[in-house]
Amino acid sequence: MAANPDIQTCALLLARLRPLFEQATQALAQCCAEEGVFSARRFDAQQVASYELAWASADLLAAETAIQGPGSDANSLETGLALVFGIDAIGSVLARTEMLFLELGLDIAPLQAFASDAAWAALRRSAGSAAALQAVGWALANADGEVGGVVLDEAHAMAQDAFRRFAADVVAPQAEALHRHDLTVPESLLQPLREMGVFGLSVPERFGGHAPNDRDDTLLMVLVTEALSEASLAGAGSLITRPEILSRALMAGGTEEQKSHWLPRIAAGDPLCAIAITEPDYGSDVASLMLRGTRVEGGWRLDGAKTWCTFAGKAGLVMVVVRTDPDRSAGHRGLSLMLVEKPSDDGHAFAYRQSEAQGGGALTGKAIATIGYRGMHSFELSFDNLFVPESHVIGGAAGLGKGFYFTMAGMMGGRMQTAGRASGVMRAAIRAALRYAADRKVFGSPLLDCPLTLAKLARMGARYAACQRLAYAVARTLDEGGGRMEASLVKLLACRSAEWVTREALQLHGGNGYAEESPVSRYFVDARVLSIFEGAEETLALKVIARSLLEQALADATPARSVAPVR
């Protein structure tokens, strides 16, 4: 089957843009290096350029993936969506790369030549025209929001179907009340989710979970998360994140005993879990965490505070990142992971006191009221002389000081999970906008008939489809052992995209979108959390994506430099 000629042009343009982007990356890398070696100090001074670089890399990779996507399974909707996204992305990458060239003192002539290229103008005239956007908008409406149709193998497709049906039938009817009354996720949601096995998606089968024994199945986790998040971000889609992080930490660092004891329970959703990392004065800065563990007979005593600990009330098991090495200069090498068991509590505040025999330590928690992402509640926690037995230190004595490393695999999974959450919220918003636009009449005809509405829907669909396709692709790469930087990249792009898509969907609803009884108002406030948690946008863009690109660029440059040093 012959590929669409616009797809070919777009792919060609992206292939020509990639080396220009890489030229900027290499030049910026040289600015961030001292004697060819990456310098954190110099890199810090280049934050503004690095931020542009990270976003350009996200758009570029997403566009490359989107354009490859339709392939021989192309249908006109998928092709149209890929082209709409591709054109927007080329424009954005071009602008950001030009900013980088200007900043870095490079000659912008090659970029201007690209911008003036006849093929680029022709592509926009053909696939970026108002008529093309409207056609894609119509196709999207006719597909009833079945967008981003990435072809899945049968097992994954069946899981997606099953969870989408479950989300629509069981989760969606409870989502509005959960949000508006700021309730705690009820057993009427938790029990069927346990039965569906969602808490064991990252637990290998031999430990009672649903992941293969010999590899991860990140794609499945993303698919399920996406399906559940479409119905409720906080009531269902986000329940997987915590067992995901905890299971992976146990798999990475737990003793055999700990794995056999905890993993089957986590997979069964009993106890439910929470993860306590962030502290009041430290957001993404893990190396500075201060919650103190003091060694006592038979275990440790914990003192200090954590915050933004989601689901800490309902959870029966909290994984806590503890500073076990009193020498603060040890940074993240002084951190260990401990498991705290506590009673499950449905309220917005709890106080758990240990028995006198255990020393009478206490853990108290208070939910932080938020504009969205309601249902699990995020807690401020105060640890006061809380006893943790030796058996509950992940990895035992050998695990001390390795807490940071044990969380890494889970963090990666958490970011992919969050890309899935963002996709689910986008899908919900787009389908709500499609329904509303079909029903609502303005100036005598359905809103959906307006060319502007169709063009907006096309852009929303294009962004969603591109993020979803990239998330699936990165999930597969992760399961093959790569894709660590890309997991942050797709999280960055999908979360910001979800903010934009929900904003546009709300706007299409007019005043009705601003009313709490419209689900789209919830999608909008829920989406706003995505760029903040699981690695804030700025942290991911700078400390993960840009840094990784620049270090790679320096590594690539080294052999060449050893032969013929530049400058």
DSSP symbol at 184: -
Strand-strand pairing, 362-368 and 349-353? antiparallel
Residue 39 engages its own copies in binding (rule: CB under 8 A): no
CA–CA gap between residue 29 and residue 404 (Å, rounded): 27
Site for its own copies in 53-92 (CB under 8 A): 91
DSSP-based three-state secondary structure for 561: helix
Kindly state whether residue 442 participates in binding its own copies, applying the rule CB under 8 A: yes
Binding mask 409-438 for its own copies (x = CB under 8 A): ------------------------------
One residue of 408, 515, 555, 560 binding its own copies per CB under 8 A: 515
From 76-84, 242-250, 483-491, 536-544, span contacting its own copies (CB under 8 A) = 536-544
User: Is 521 near its own copies (CB under 8 A)?
Assistant: yes
Please identify which of the residues 390, 534, 538, 551 carries the catalytic annotation: 534
Candidates 351, 368, 398, 560: give the one binding its own copies (CB under 8 A): 368
CB of 22 to its own copies, least distance (A): 20
N- to C-terminal Cα separation, the chain: 50
Nearer to its own copies, 285 or 551 (CB): 285
Q: Give the nearer residue to its own copies in terms of CB position, either 3 or 108.
A: 108
3-state class (DSSP) for residue 363: strand
Cβ-based neighbour number of residue 445 at 10 Å: 9
Q: Quote the least distance from Cβ 522 to its own copies, whole Å.
A: 8
Q: Which residue bears the tokens 């002539």? A: 109
Q: Which amino acid makes up residue 517?
A: E
- Is residue 349 at the binding interface for its own copies, with CB under 8 A as the rule? no
Q: What is the nearest approach in angstroms of its own copies to the Cβ of residue 534?
A: 11
Cβ distance 434 to 464 under 8 Å? no
Give the interface segment with its own copies, choosing from 163-171, 197-205, 210-218, 372-380 (CB under 8 A): 372-380
Q: Taking CB under 8 A as the criterion, which residues in 179-208 touch its own copies?
A: 180
Joined together, the tokens standing for residue 189 give: 């949601």
Taking CB under 8 A as the criterion, the residue among 19, 257, 510, 552 binding its own copies is 510
Q: How far is the CB of 498 from its own copies (least distance, A)?
A: 13
Q: How many whole angstroms separate alpha carbon 363 and alpha carbon 271?
A: 17
532 touching its own copies, by CB under 8 A: yes
Three-state DSSP state, 223: helix
Please provide the DSSP assignment of 231-287 as one string.
H-IIIIITTTHHHHHHHHHHHHH--HHHHHHHHHHHHHTSS-EEEE--BTTBSS-GG
Q: Distances in Å between the alpha carbon of 394 and those of 82, 201, 249, 256?
A: 45, 20, 8, 10
DSSP secondary structure string for all residues of 61-114: HHHHHHHHSSGGG--HHHHHHHHHHHHHHHHHHHHHHHHHHHHHT---HHHHHH
Q: For residues 143 and 80, give the distance between their C-alpha atoms in angstroms, rounded to a whole number.
A: 13
534 catalytic residue (yes or no): yes
Query: Which of 288, 294, 391, 558 touches its own copies by CB under 8 A?
Result: 288
Contact between residue 288 and residue 282 where contact means Cβ atoms under 8 Å apart: yes
CB of 42 to its own copies, least distance (A): 12
Environment class of residue 224 by beta-carbon count within 10 Å: exposed (0-12), middle (13-18) or buried (19+)? buried
To its own copies, the closest distance from the beta carbon of 276 in angstroms equals 14
Site for its own copies in 144-183 (CB under 8 A): 180
- Binding pattern to its own copies, positions 225-254, x when CB under 8 A? ------------------------------
Residues 293-322 that bind its own copies (CB under 8 A): 307-308
Minimum distance from residue 116 beta carbon to its own copies (Å):
5
Determine if 45 is a binding residue for its own copies (CB under 8 A). Answer: yes
* b/e burial code for range 285-309 (CB count within 10 A of at least 16 → b): ebeebebebeeeeebbbbbbbbbbb
Q: Which of residues 112-141 bind its own copies (CB under 8 A)?
A: 112, 115-116, 121, 124-125, 128-130, 133-134
- What tokens does 227 get? 């399906």
Stretch that binds its own copies, among 15-23, 211-219, 279-287, 398-406 (CB under 8 A): 279-287
Q: Does 398 bind its own copies (CB under 8 A)?
A: no
Q: Based on the shown chain and the rule CB under 8 A, indicate whether residue 328 belongs to the binding site for its own copies.
A: no
Considering the rule CB under 8 A, would residue 517 count as an interface residue with its own copies?
A: yes
Q: How far apart are CA 52 and CA 48, in angstroms?
A: 7
Nearer to its own copies, 79 or 310 (CB): 310
Which token pair is 485?
A: 């930087």
In three-state form (DSSP H/G/I as H, E/B as E, the rest C), the secondary structure along 119-168 is: HHHHHHHHHCCHHHHHHHHHHHHHCCCCCCCCCCCHHHHHHHHHHHHHHH
Binding mask 450-489 for its own copies (x = CB under 8 A): xxx--x----------------------------------
Q: Which is nearer to its own copies, 175 or 455 (CB)?
A: 455
Nearer residue to its own copies within complex by CB, 41 or 214: 41
Tell me whether residue 75 or residue 129 sits nearer to its own copies (CB atom). Answer: 129
Task: Tell me the number of residues near its own copies by CB under 8 A.
Answer: 72
- Closest separation in Å from C-beta 291 to its own copies: 17
- Rounded least distance, CB 322 to its own copies, Å: 21
Name which of 48 and 398 has its Cβ closer to its own copies. 48
Active site positions, annotated: 534
